Protein backbone atom coordinates (compact mmCIF):
# COMPACT_ATOMS: atom_id res chain seq x y z
CA UNK A 1 0.00 0.00 0.00
CA UNK A 2 1.45 3.34 -1.03
CA UNK A 3 0.44 6.35 1.05
CA UNK A 4 1.79 9.83 0.39
CA UNK A 5 1.63 12.62 2.95
CA UNK A 6 -0.40 15.73 2.25
CA UNK A 7 2.11 18.55 1.65
CA UNK A 8 -0.17 20.90 3.57
CA UNK A 9 0.78 19.14 6.82
CA UNK A 10 4.39 20.26 6.40
CA UNK A 11 3.22 23.87 6.74
CA UNK A 12 1.51 23.44 10.11
CA UNK A 13 2.91 25.55 12.93
CA UNK A 14 2.95 25.63 16.71
CA UNK A 15 0.82 28.79 16.51
CA UNK A 16 -1.92 26.83 14.77
CA UNK A 17 -1.61 24.11 17.38
CA UNK A 18 -2.11 26.64 20.15
CA UNK A 19 -5.12 28.05 18.33
CA UNK A 20 -6.62 24.57 17.94
CA UNK A 21 -6.16 23.90 21.65
CA UNK A 22 -7.59 27.24 22.74
CA UNK A 23 -10.64 26.93 20.50
CA UNK A 24 -11.29 23.43 21.79
CA UNK A 25 -11.11 24.44 25.43
CA UNK A 26 -13.25 27.51 24.83
CA UNK A 27 -16.02 25.93 22.77
CA UNK A 28 -15.97 22.10 22.56
CA UNK A 29 -17.89 19.94 25.03
CA UNK A 30 -16.17 16.55 25.36
CA UNK A 31 -17.83 13.19 25.89
CA UNK A 32 -17.52 11.15 29.10
CA UNK A 33 -15.61 13.95 30.82
CA UNK A 34 -15.66 16.61 33.48
CA UNK A 35 -14.78 19.56 31.31
CA UNK A 36 -12.61 21.82 33.49
CA UNK A 37 -9.58 19.56 33.87
CA UNK A 38 -9.28 18.39 30.26
CA UNK A 39 -6.01 18.79 28.38
CA UNK A 40 -6.69 17.22 24.98
CA UNK A 41 -3.86 16.08 22.75
CA UNK A 42 -3.91 18.17 19.55
CA UNK A 43 -3.40 16.17 16.36
CA UNK A 44 -2.19 18.07 13.32
CA UNK A 45 -1.98 15.28 10.75
CA UNK A 46 -1.80 11.53 10.24
CA UNK A 47 -0.67 8.91 7.77
CA UNK A 48 -0.92 5.13 7.91
CA UNK A 49 -0.22 4.10 11.51
CA UNK A 50 1.25 7.45 12.57
CA UNK A 51 -0.10 10.78 13.81
CA UNK A 52 1.79 13.97 14.57
CA UNK A 53 1.31 17.16 16.49
CA UNK A 54 1.85 20.78 15.44
CA UNK A 55 5.45 20.69 16.63
CA UNK A 56 6.18 17.88 14.21
CA UNK A 57 6.52 15.09 16.79
CA UNK A 58 5.31 11.72 15.44
CA UNK A 59 3.44 9.05 17.38
CA UNK A 60 2.57 5.47 16.51
CA UNK A 61 -1.21 5.35 16.82
CA UNK A 62 -1.72 2.28 18.99
CA UNK A 63 -5.21 3.50 19.89
CA UNK A 64 -6.48 3.56 16.29
CA UNK A 65 -8.24 6.68 17.64
CA UNK A 66 -11.27 4.90 19.15
CA UNK A 67 -10.26 1.46 17.85
CA UNK A 68 -11.69 2.30 14.44
CA UNK A 69 -8.76 3.28 12.21
CA UNK A 70 -8.50 -0.23 10.76
CA UNK A 71 -7.31 0.72 7.27
CA UNK A 72 -4.97 3.36 8.65
CA UNK A 73 -5.01 7.13 8.38
CA UNK A 74 -5.49 8.79 4.99
CA UNK A 75 -5.64 5.72 2.78
CA UNK A 76 -5.47 7.19 -0.75
CA UNK A 77 -8.11 4.90 -2.26
CA UNK A 78 -10.68 5.80 0.38
CA UNK A 79 -9.90 9.52 0.15
CA UNK A 80 -10.16 9.38 -3.65
CA UNK A 81 -13.54 7.61 -3.48
CA UNK A 82 -14.95 10.25 -1.13
CA UNK A 83 -13.73 13.03 -3.44
CA UNK A 84 -15.15 11.33 -6.51
CA UNK A 85 -18.52 10.83 -4.83
CA UNK A 86 -18.52 14.47 -3.69
CA UNK A 87 -18.07 15.50 -7.32
CA UNK A 88 -20.96 13.22 -8.38
CA UNK A 89 -23.66 13.74 -5.74
CA UNK A 90 -23.22 14.43 -2.05
CA UNK A 91 -26.66 13.62 -0.64
CA UNK A 92 -29.48 11.25 -1.58
CA UNK A 93 -32.40 10.79 0.82
CA UNK A 94 -32.99 7.24 2.12
CA UNK A 95 -36.23 6.59 0.17
CA UNK A 96 -34.35 6.87 -3.12
CA UNK A 97 -31.80 4.51 -4.63
CA UNK A 98 -28.14 5.37 -5.02
CA UNK A 99 -25.40 3.36 -6.69
CA UNK A 100 -22.81 3.84 -3.94
CA UNK A 101 -25.32 2.80 -1.28
CA UNK A 102 -26.26 -0.35 -3.14
CA UNK A 103 -22.64 -1.24 -3.77
CA UNK A 104 -21.76 -0.70 -0.10
CA UNK A 105 -24.55 -3.05 1.02
CA UNK A 106 -23.46 -5.63 -1.56
CA UNK A 107 -19.83 -5.51 -0.38
CA UNK A 108 -20.81 -5.91 3.28
CA UNK A 109 -23.12 -8.85 2.56
CA UNK A 110 -20.43 -10.60 0.55
CA UNK A 111 -18.18 -10.53 3.61
CA UNK A 112 -20.92 -11.43 6.11
CA UNK A 113 -21.97 -14.64 4.35
CA UNK A 114 -24.97 -16.17 2.56
CA UNK A 115 -27.26 -16.20 5.61
CA UNK A 116 -27.64 -12.43 5.36
CA UNK A 117 -29.78 -10.58 2.85
CA UNK A 118 -30.11 -6.86 3.62
CA UNK A 119 -28.26 -3.96 5.23
CA UNK A 120 -29.92 -1.11 7.12
CA UNK A 121 -27.54 1.86 7.30
CA UNK A 122 -27.27 4.13 10.33
CA UNK A 123 -25.06 7.04 11.36
CA UNK A 124 -22.87 5.04 13.74
CA UNK A 125 -22.58 2.10 16.08
CA UNK A 126 -25.00 3.17 18.81
CA UNK A 127 -27.94 3.62 16.47
CA UNK A 128 -26.99 0.37 14.74
CA UNK A 129 -27.50 -1.37 18.09
CA UNK A 130 -30.74 0.59 18.64
CA UNK A 131 -32.18 -0.60 15.37
CA UNK A 132 -31.02 -4.19 15.82
CA UNK A 133 -32.88 -4.22 19.14
CA UNK A 134 -35.95 -2.76 17.46
CA UNK A 135 -35.86 -5.40 14.73
CA UNK A 136 -35.54 -8.18 17.28
CA UNK A 137 -38.50 -6.94 19.29
CA UNK A 138 -40.70 -6.53 16.24
CA UNK A 139 -39.70 -9.90 14.77
CA UNK A 140 -40.26 -11.93 17.94
CA UNK A 141 -43.11 -9.95 19.50
CA UNK A 142 -41.13 -9.99 22.74
CA UNK A 143 -39.69 -7.14 24.76
CA UNK A 144 -36.62 -8.03 26.82
CA UNK A 145 -33.03 -7.78 25.62
CA UNK A 146 -30.24 -9.64 27.40
CA UNK A 147 -26.65 -8.35 27.41
CA UNK A 148 -23.55 -8.78 29.54
CA UNK A 149 -22.34 -6.64 32.40
CA UNK A 150 -18.91 -6.37 30.81
CA UNK A 151 -20.00 -4.59 27.64
CA UNK A 152 -20.37 -1.31 25.84
CA UNK A 153 -23.01 -0.88 23.14
CA UNK A 154 -23.28 2.88 22.60
CA UNK A 155 -24.67 6.09 24.05
CA UNK A 156 -28.27 6.22 22.78
CA UNK A 157 -31.42 5.21 24.66
CA UNK A 158 -31.54 1.41 24.45
CA UNK A 159 -27.85 0.98 23.57
CA UNK A 160 -26.62 2.65 26.75
CA UNK A 161 -28.99 0.62 28.92
CA UNK A 162 -27.85 -2.55 27.17
CA UNK A 163 -24.32 -1.50 28.13
CA UNK A 164 -23.11 -3.15 31.29
CA UNK A 165 -20.47 -0.76 32.60
CA UNK A 166 -20.84 2.36 34.78
CA UNK A 167 -22.02 4.55 31.91
CA UNK A 168 -25.38 2.80 31.99
CA UNK A 169 -26.24 3.92 35.49
CA UNK A 170 -26.95 7.66 34.96
CA UNK A 171 -28.87 6.84 31.76
CA UNK A 172 -31.31 4.05 32.60
CA UNK A 173 -34.38 5.34 30.80
CA UNK A 174 -35.04 2.43 28.45
CA UNK A 175 -37.17 -0.55 29.44
CA UNK A 176 -36.81 -4.29 29.16
CA UNK A 177 -33.08 -4.85 29.68
CA UNK A 178 -31.57 -7.79 31.56
CA UNK A 179 -27.86 -8.29 32.26
CA UNK A 180 -25.79 -11.39 32.87
CA UNK A 181 -22.13 -12.29 33.31
CA UNK A 182 -20.21 -13.50 30.30
CA UNK A 183 -17.06 -15.62 30.49
CA UNK A 184 -13.83 -14.02 31.72
CA UNK A 185 -11.55 -16.61 33.26
CA UNK A 186 -8.93 -14.19 34.58
CA UNK A 187 -11.56 -12.55 36.80
CA UNK A 188 -14.03 -15.42 36.85
CA UNK A 189 -17.47 -15.00 38.41
CA UNK A 190 -17.91 -18.77 38.40
CA UNK A 191 -14.93 -20.06 40.42
CA UNK A 192 -13.66 -21.73 37.25
CA UNK A 193 -10.14 -23.11 36.93
CA UNK A 194 -10.06 -23.65 33.16
CA UNK A 195 -11.49 -22.21 29.96
CA UNK A 196 -13.75 -25.28 29.63
CA UNK A 197 -15.16 -24.78 33.14
CA UNK A 198 -15.63 -21.05 32.55
CA UNK A 199 -17.51 -21.72 29.32
CA UNK A 200 -19.79 -24.40 30.76
CA UNK A 201 -20.61 -22.43 33.91
CA UNK A 202 -21.18 -19.16 32.02
CA UNK A 203 -23.62 -20.92 29.69
CA UNK A 204 -25.40 -22.52 32.65
CA UNK A 205 -25.66 -19.10 34.30
CA UNK A 206 -27.04 -17.57 31.09
CA UNK A 207 -29.70 -20.25 30.73
CA UNK A 208 -30.77 -19.90 34.35
CA UNK A 209 -31.15 -16.13 33.92
CA UNK A 210 -33.21 -16.76 30.78
CA UNK A 211 -35.46 -19.14 32.69
CA UNK A 212 -35.75 -16.87 35.71
CA UNK A 213 -36.67 -13.89 33.53
CA UNK A 214 -39.12 -15.96 31.50
CA UNK A 215 -37.56 -17.16 28.28
CA UNK A 216 -40.76 -16.44 26.36
CA UNK A 217 -40.41 -12.72 27.21
CA UNK A 218 -36.88 -12.34 25.79
CA UNK A 219 -36.48 -11.08 22.23
CA UNK A 220 -32.72 -11.37 21.84
CA UNK A 221 -29.32 -11.84 23.36
CA UNK A 222 -27.08 -8.91 22.41
CA UNK A 223 -23.41 -9.72 22.75
CA UNK A 224 -20.12 -8.29 21.54
CA UNK A 225 -18.46 -11.12 19.64
CA UNK A 226 -15.24 -10.07 21.38
CA UNK A 227 -16.01 -7.46 24.06
CA UNK A 228 -13.68 -4.55 23.41
CA UNK A 229 -13.97 -1.61 25.78
CA UNK A 230 -14.59 -4.10 28.61
CA UNK A 231 -11.13 -5.56 28.11
CA UNK A 232 -10.76 -7.54 24.84
CA UNK A 233 -12.42 -10.62 26.34
CA UNK A 234 -11.84 -13.37 23.80
CA UNK A 235 -14.61 -15.93 24.38
CA UNK A 236 -13.59 -19.49 25.22
CA UNK A 237 -14.08 -22.21 22.64
CA UNK A 238 -17.73 -23.17 22.39
CA UNK A 239 -19.20 -20.18 24.21
CA UNK A 240 -20.67 -18.24 21.29
CA UNK A 241 -21.96 -21.47 19.76
CA UNK A 242 -23.53 -22.26 23.13
CA UNK A 243 -25.26 -18.86 23.22
CA UNK A 244 -26.54 -19.50 19.69
CA UNK A 245 -27.93 -22.87 20.80
CA UNK A 246 -29.73 -21.32 23.78
CA UNK A 247 -31.24 -18.63 21.56
CA UNK A 248 -32.51 -21.32 19.19
CA UNK A 249 -33.86 -23.41 22.08
CA UNK A 250 -35.96 -20.56 23.45
CA UNK A 251 -36.88 -18.78 20.20
CA UNK A 252 -34.68 -15.72 20.71
CA UNK A 253 -32.57 -13.87 18.17
CA UNK A 254 -28.81 -13.51 18.51
CA UNK A 255 -27.42 -10.03 17.87
CA UNK A 256 -23.65 -9.77 17.49
CA UNK A 257 -22.29 -6.30 18.18
CA UNK A 258 -19.30 -6.09 15.81
CA UNK A 259 -18.94 -2.31 15.99
CA UNK A 260 -15.41 -2.56 17.43
CA UNK A 261 -14.49 -6.16 16.62
CA UNK A 262 -15.51 -6.21 12.97
CA UNK A 263 -13.72 -5.55 9.68
CA UNK A 264 -10.27 -6.88 10.43
CA UNK A 265 -9.76 -6.05 14.07
CA UNK A 266 -9.58 -9.73 15.11
CA UNK A 267 -8.00 -10.91 11.86
CA UNK A 268 -11.39 -11.81 10.36
CA UNK A 269 -13.91 -9.79 8.39
CA UNK A 270 -16.31 -10.31 11.29
CA UNK A 271 -15.11 -11.56 14.66
CA UNK A 272 -17.89 -14.14 14.97
CA UNK A 273 -16.48 -15.90 11.90
CA UNK A 274 -13.61 -17.13 14.06
CA UNK A 275 -15.96 -18.86 16.52
CA UNK A 276 -18.20 -21.19 14.49
CA UNK A 277 -21.41 -19.19 14.97
CA UNK A 278 -23.79 -17.17 12.79
CA UNK A 279 -26.01 -14.48 14.38
CA UNK A 280 -29.38 -13.22 13.17
CA UNK A 281 -28.34 -9.56 13.21
CA UNK A 282 -24.94 -7.84 13.10
CA UNK A 283 -24.39 -4.29 14.32
CA UNK A 284 -21.40 -2.67 12.62
CA UNK A 285 -19.66 0.71 12.28
CA UNK A 286 -16.08 1.87 13.01
CA UNK A 287 -13.88 -0.43 10.91
CA UNK A 288 -16.22 -0.68 7.90
CA UNK A 289 -14.66 2.55 6.61
CA UNK A 290 -12.34 3.44 9.49
CA UNK A 291 -14.55 6.37 10.39
CA UNK A 292 -13.54 8.47 7.39
CA UNK A 293 -17.23 9.46 7.18
CA UNK A 294 -19.62 8.63 10.06
CA UNK A 295 -21.59 5.45 9.30
CA UNK A 296 -22.90 2.26 10.85
CA UNK A 297 -25.59 -0.28 10.20
CA UNK A 298 -27.31 -3.58 10.77
CA UNK A 299 -26.64 -6.64 8.64
CA UNK A 300 -29.94 -8.52 8.58
CA UNK A 301 -30.46 -12.23 8.05
CA UNK A 302 -32.75 -13.24 5.22
CA UNK A 303 -35.31 -14.60 7.68
CA UNK A 304 -35.48 -11.41 9.73
CA UNK A 305 -35.51 -9.19 6.62
CA UNK A 306 -38.47 -11.18 5.26
CA UNK A 307 -40.50 -10.18 8.34
CA UNK A 308 -40.62 -6.67 6.95
CA UNK A 309 -41.67 -7.55 3.40
CA UNK A 310 -45.26 -6.70 4.31
CA UNK A 311 -44.84 -5.24 7.80
CA UNK A 312 -43.61 -1.63 7.95
CA UNK A 313 -40.30 -1.17 9.73
CA UNK A 314 -40.91 1.86 12.00
CA UNK A 315 -37.46 3.37 11.88
CA UNK A 316 -35.29 5.59 9.73
CA UNK A 317 -32.56 8.21 9.64
CA UNK A 318 -32.08 11.20 7.36
CA UNK A 319 -28.51 10.18 6.58
CA UNK A 320 -29.06 6.43 6.29
CA UNK A 321 -26.69 5.21 3.58
CA UNK A 322 -25.23 8.66 2.96
CA UNK A 323 -23.46 8.59 -0.44
CA UNK A 324 -20.13 9.87 0.89
CA UNK A 325 -20.14 7.23 3.61
CA UNK A 326 -21.25 4.53 1.18
CA UNK A 327 -18.48 5.38 -1.27
CA UNK A 328 -15.93 5.20 1.53
CA UNK A 329 -17.23 1.74 2.52
CA UNK A 330 -16.89 0.42 -1.04
CA UNK A 331 -13.35 1.75 -1.36
CA UNK A 332 -12.33 0.53 2.09
CA UNK A 333 -13.63 -3.03 1.63
CA UNK A 334 -12.12 -3.24 -1.85
CA UNK A 335 -8.74 -1.97 -0.62
CA UNK A 336 -8.74 -4.29 2.37
CA UNK A 337 -9.48 -7.21 0.06
CA UNK A 338 -6.94 -6.32 -2.64
CA UNK A 339 -4.17 -5.45 -0.20
CA UNK A 340 -4.85 -8.42 2.10
CA UNK A 341 -5.21 -6.15 5.10
CA UNK A 342 -7.32 -8.68 7.03
CA UNK A 343 -4.60 -11.26 6.52
CA UNK A 344 -2.01 -8.74 7.69
CA UNK A 345 -3.92 -8.13 10.91
CA UNK A 346 -4.11 -11.87 11.57
CA UNK A 347 -0.38 -12.32 10.89
CA UNK A 348 0.57 -9.37 13.08
CA UNK A 349 -1.37 -10.85 15.99
CA UNK A 350 -0.05 -14.38 15.59
CA UNK A 351 3.58 -13.63 14.74
CA UNK A 352 4.35 -10.28 16.35
CA UNK A 353 1.91 -8.73 18.83
CA UNK A 354 0.96 -11.96 20.59
CA UNK A 355 4.54 -13.18 21.20
CA UNK A 356 5.86 -9.67 21.84
CA UNK A 357 3.26 -8.84 24.46
CA UNK A 358 3.80 -12.21 26.13
CA UNK A 359 7.51 -11.34 26.43
CA UNK A 360 6.58 -8.02 28.01
CA UNK A 361 4.32 -9.77 30.52
CA UNK A 362 7.10 -12.16 31.49
CA UNK A 363 9.38 -9.20 32.15
CA UNK A 364 7.06 -6.74 33.89
CA UNK A 365 5.14 -7.68 37.07
CA UNK A 366 2.55 -4.97 36.44
CA UNK A 367 1.15 -7.03 33.55
CA UNK A 368 -1.17 -9.63 35.02
CA UNK A 369 -2.59 -10.99 31.79
CA UNK A 370 -2.27 -10.49 28.04
CA UNK A 371 -5.44 -11.12 26.00
CA UNK A 372 -6.29 -10.74 22.36
CA UNK A 373 -6.01 -11.72 18.73
CA UNK A 374 -5.34 -9.92 15.45
CA UNK A 375 -4.70 -6.26 16.27
CA UNK A 376 -7.04 -6.36 19.28
CA UNK A 377 -5.15 -6.82 22.57
CA UNK A 378 -5.34 -5.75 26.21
CA UNK A 379 -2.84 -5.73 29.05
CA UNK A 380 -4.61 -6.29 32.39
CA UNK A 381 -2.45 -4.43 34.92
CA UNK A 382 -2.23 -5.47 38.57
CA UNK A 383 -0.41 -4.49 41.75
CA UNK A 384 -0.48 -8.07 43.02
CA UNK A 385 -0.18 -10.91 40.53
CA UNK A 386 -1.65 -13.54 42.86
CA UNK A 387 -4.60 -11.46 44.07
CA UNK A 388 -4.97 -9.85 40.63
CA UNK A 389 -5.58 -6.48 42.25
CA UNK A 390 -6.18 -3.83 39.57
CA UNK A 391 -3.70 -0.97 39.45
CA UNK A 392 -4.99 2.47 40.51
CA UNK A 393 -5.73 5.22 38.00
CA UNK A 394 -2.45 6.93 38.88
CA UNK A 395 -0.46 4.04 37.39
CA UNK A 396 -2.46 4.19 34.16
CA UNK A 397 -1.89 7.94 34.01
CA UNK A 398 1.83 7.50 34.50
CA UNK A 399 2.02 4.84 31.80
CA UNK A 400 0.10 7.01 29.36
CA UNK A 401 2.52 9.85 30.01
CA UNK A 402 5.58 7.66 29.50
CA UNK A 403 4.18 6.20 26.28
CA UNK A 404 3.29 9.62 24.87
CA UNK A 405 6.71 11.01 25.76
CA UNK A 406 8.32 8.18 23.79
CA UNK A 407 6.07 8.42 20.74
CA UNK A 408 3.18 5.97 21.21
CA UNK A 409 -0.44 7.17 21.35
CA UNK A 410 -2.09 4.71 23.79
CA UNK A 411 -5.62 3.53 24.54
CA UNK A 412 -6.39 3.10 28.23
CA UNK A 413 -9.53 1.83 29.96
CA UNK A 414 -9.92 1.21 33.69
CA UNK A 415 -6.81 -0.75 34.79
CA UNK A 416 -5.84 -1.74 31.26
CA UNK A 417 -3.73 -0.60 28.37
CA UNK A 418 -5.32 -1.76 25.11
CA UNK A 419 -2.90 -2.45 22.26
CA UNK A 420 -4.98 -1.76 19.17
CA UNK A 421 -3.00 -0.45 16.19
CA UNK A 422 -4.41 -0.17 12.66
CA UNK A 423 -4.74 -3.39 10.65
CA UNK A 424 -2.07 -2.02 8.29
CA UNK A 425 0.59 -1.91 11.00
CA UNK A 426 3.93 -3.38 9.92
CA UNK A 427 6.21 -5.77 11.84
CA UNK A 428 8.84 -3.03 12.11
CA UNK A 429 6.31 -0.61 13.62
CA UNK A 430 5.19 -3.27 16.07
CA UNK A 431 8.80 -3.88 17.11
CA UNK A 432 9.32 -0.15 17.61
CA UNK A 433 6.16 0.13 19.72
CA UNK A 434 6.97 -2.93 21.82
CA UNK A 435 10.35 -1.41 22.65
CA UNK A 436 8.59 1.76 23.79
CA UNK A 437 6.08 -0.20 25.90
CA UNK A 438 9.03 -1.96 27.52
CA UNK A 439 10.72 1.36 28.33
CA UNK A 440 7.48 2.86 29.66
CA UNK A 441 6.76 -0.08 31.97
CA UNK A 442 10.36 -0.03 33.21
CA UNK A 443 10.08 3.67 34.00
CA UNK A 444 6.79 3.29 35.90
CA UNK A 445 7.86 0.19 37.79
CA UNK A 446 11.15 1.83 38.70
Domains of the chain: 76-338 (3.40.640.10), 340-421+439-446 (3.90.1150.10)
Which stretch of DSSP H or E encloses residue 92?
Answer: none
pLDDT of residue 183: 98
Per-chain mean pLDDT for the chain? 96
Helix (H, G, I), strand (E, B) or coil at 89: coil
pLDDT of residue 21: 95
pLDDT grade for 9, boundaries at 50, 70 and 90: low
Q: What is the C-alpha to C-alpha distance for residues 161 and 262, in angstroms, rounded to an integer? A: 22
Q: What is the pLDDT of residues 187-212, one digit of tens each?
A: 999 999 999 999 999 999 999 999 99
Confidence check: pLDDT of 6 > 90? no
Q: What is the pLDDT of residues 169-178, one digit of tens each?
A: 988 899 999 9
pLDDT of residue 5: 54
Q: What is the C-alpha to C-alpha distance for residues 337 and 326, in angstroms, rounded to an integer? A: 17
pLDDT grade for 217, boundaries at 50, 70 and 90: very high
Measured from the Cβ of residue 310, the count of other Cβ atoms closer than 10 Å reads 6
Measured from the Cβ of residue 213, the count of other Cβ atoms closer than 10 Å reads 14
Q: What is the pLDDT of residues 248-284, one digit of tens each?
A: 999 999 999 999 999 999 999 999 999 989 999 999 9
State the burial class of residue 446 (Cβ atoms within 10 Å of its Cβ: 0-12, 13-18, 19+). Answer: exposed
Which CA distances in Å does 391 have to 206, 224, 245? 30, 25, 38
pLDDT of residue 1: 41
- The end-to-end CA distance of the chain, in Å, is 40
pLDDT of residue 13: 77
Confidence check: pLDDT of 37 > 50? yes
Q: What is the pLDDT of residues 47-74, one digit of tens each?
A: 999 999 999 999 999 999 999 999 999 9
Shortest CA distance to 362 belongs to which of 259, 441, 301, 420?
Answer: 441
Q: What is the C-alpha to C-alpha distance for residues 207 and 358, in angstroms, rounded to an integer? A: 35
State the burial class of residue 313 (Cβ atoms within 10 Å of its Cβ: 0-12, 13-18, 19+). Answer: middle
Over residues 77-94, the mean pLDDT reads 98
Over residues 108-115, the mean pLDDT reads 98
Q: What is the pLDDT of residues 125-134, one digit of tens each?
A: 999 999 999 9
Q: What is the 3-state composition of the chain as percent helix, strand, coil, each rounded to the nearest 5?
A: 45, 15, 40
Q: Considering the chain, what percentage of its residues have pLDDT values greater than 90?
A: 95
Confidence check: pLDDT of 87 > 80? yes
Over residues 134-157, the mean pLDDT reads 97
Confidence check: pLDDT of 225 > 80? yes
pTM summary value: 0.95
DSSP state of 351: I
pLDDT of residue 413: 95
Amino acid sequence: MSITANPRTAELTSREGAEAYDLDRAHVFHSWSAQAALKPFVIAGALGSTVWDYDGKHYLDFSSQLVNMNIGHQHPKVIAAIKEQADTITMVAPPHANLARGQAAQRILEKAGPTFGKVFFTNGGADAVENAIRMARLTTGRDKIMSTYRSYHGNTGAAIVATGDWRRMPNEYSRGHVHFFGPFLYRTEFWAMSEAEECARALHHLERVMQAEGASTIAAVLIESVPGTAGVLVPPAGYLAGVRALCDKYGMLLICDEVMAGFGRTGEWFAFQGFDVVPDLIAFAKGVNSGYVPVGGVVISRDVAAQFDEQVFPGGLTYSGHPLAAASIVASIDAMTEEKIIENARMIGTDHLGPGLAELAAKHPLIGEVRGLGVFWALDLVTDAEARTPVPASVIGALKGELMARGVLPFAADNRIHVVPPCVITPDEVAQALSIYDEAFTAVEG
